[in-house]
Amino acid sequence: MLTPDHRYLAVLGKAPEKIPHFEHWSCPDAESYLTGIDYYQHPRLCRLKLRELYPELNLPIPQAVDSIVKPTEDNSSGNNHTVRWGDGQSWSWEHGETHFKTPEDVFAFSPLEKADFTDMPGVIMNYDFSSEEILYQRFRAEYPKEWGDTAPQDSFSIAEFYNTMFMWPLLTFGWELFLECCLDNRFGRVMEEFAEINRRVFRAIARLPVNFVSCHDDIVNTRGPVCSPSWMRRYIFPYYEEFWSILKASGKEIIFVSDGCLDCYVDDVISCGVRAIMTEPYTDFKAIARRHPNICIAGEGDNRILTENEPARIRQMVESMVETARMSAGYMMCIGNHIPWNIPPEAIKLYLELSRELAHY
């Protein structure tokens, strides 16, 4: 029998002896530094060596063996409003401008009539949402056929969905039109149609051979809430409870992912049925651990501290993360605000080595 994946145990609140990592990783220079192999010349060979040296990162192995052109530091694109991201470009941060110009455009839009969002890349997961079966076939193709209908036992097998609810209007209409329209009563019909699309999504995901589902919604920013508690409790949280009940009925556990400072809404999200919270270091992780010791949490690590590249500060950060972990039955080491391309590789190496030394129950 295979040893259970430590991430599996962490999410279930079973406090594995070694606290696992779940890192948001896009720093090729660190890979070259850690392995001694130029990532841009030999991306696959470099990643294979990295997995050998740091298996706890669980990074995927690229299939391509061809060299990659290293982006310049100023690799932004003025037309698309993109920036350097890992070994390439980010997606655009502008949404909705092509299809929607005025509030009346928003109120006239029917997500259900549209259904097929493949011509709208701004919604990130721009799939054809016309039916549950279309969605199931798309999702199922991502997992080995030999798994059948059941995830491997004790595995960190996971499905991901980006537009859990809040992201739908944000990405479809763009920030300005979303905020201009969201308090109008006519917006309720639009949100209900997005919810009906998501019923198809989550019924399809419930059929997948996975143990966990990552549900992403950036419901806050670094300073806290965007929309009021009353708005969230009308348009967002009831749908979370409904969708996650579909997943839980099929034996799956939910990992909720949100950027920003989640303090205001942690209790609401947990009450809707999640097993794990993954967010950013602007959130008070120790407060979550005190109130919800059986919930797995991840994202307390701070890339601003890594950027400083001060060994004492990095050690202090890791020690504080481990202190939080020991307050909780589930925890994952994670730099919540990402490990992007411009973090000093020496700082990343120290963070990983200190985690190996200290991150134990």
296 three-class SS = strand
Mean pLDDT of 223-251: 97
Residue 293 lies in a domain: no
Q: Above 60 in pLDDT, residue 16?
A: yes
**CB of 30 within 8 A of CB of 339?**
yes
Task: Tell me how many domains the chain contains.
Answer: 1
Residue 250 lies in a domain: yes
Q: What is the mean pLDDT of the chain?
A: 95
Residue 104 lies in a domain: yes
Judge if pTM exceeds 0.85.
yes
Mean pLDDT of 228-256: 98
Q: Above 90 in pLDDT, residue 92?
A: no
Instruction: Identify the band that residue 1 occupies on the pLDDT scale cut at 50, 70 and 90.
Output: very low
**CB of 29 within 8 A of CB of 345?**
yes
Query: What range defines the domain where residue 225 resides?
Result: 91-254
Q: What would the DSSP string read from start to end of 30-99?
A: HHHHHHSS-TTT-HHHHHHHHHHH-GGG-PPPPS--S--PPPPSS--BTTTTB-EETTEEPPPS--STTT
Residue 315 lies in a domain: no
Mean pLDDT of 15-20: 96
102: Cβ–Cβ under 8 A, 6 or more apart, which residues?
177
Task: Give the residue ranges of DSSP H helices in 89-143.
Answer: 103-108, 111-114, 132-140
What does the pLDDT read at residue 65?
79
What does the pLDDT read at residue 78?
56
Closest by Cα among 221, 204, 118 to 161: 204
104: Cβ–Cβ under 8 A, 6 or more apart, which residues?
none
